Amino acid sequence: ISVQDAYYECNWYEMPLDCKKCLLICMIRGQVMLYITAGKFYIFSLNSFTDVSVLM
């Protein structure tokens, strides 16, 4: 189950309007992958970090 699905599965329709707006922002932010690049050459992500950690 993805983060967006988990947010959608909660009882969002019973929440106050401000909580619904926060939930919507969280769902939108969850769609964008966060990463750090090294000079726009290499993408540092959680997957690449764990790959390097396993090699050491």
Quickly state the pLDDT bin for 53 (edges 50, 70, 90).
low
The yes-or-no verdict on residue 6 having pLDDT over 70 is yes
Handedness of CA 32, 33, 38, 42 (dihedral sign): negative
What ranges do the domains of the chain cover? 3-55
CA angle 1, 54, 31 (to 5 degrees): 30
SS (H, E, C) 28-54: HHCCCCCCEEECCCEEECHHHHHHHHH
**H or E stretch covering 19:** helix 17-29
Q: What is the DSSP letter of 17?
A: H
Q: pLDDT, tens digit, for every residue of 12-45? A: 899 999 999 999 998 888 888 777 888 878 888 7
The yes-or-no verdict on residue 55 having pLDDT over 70 is no
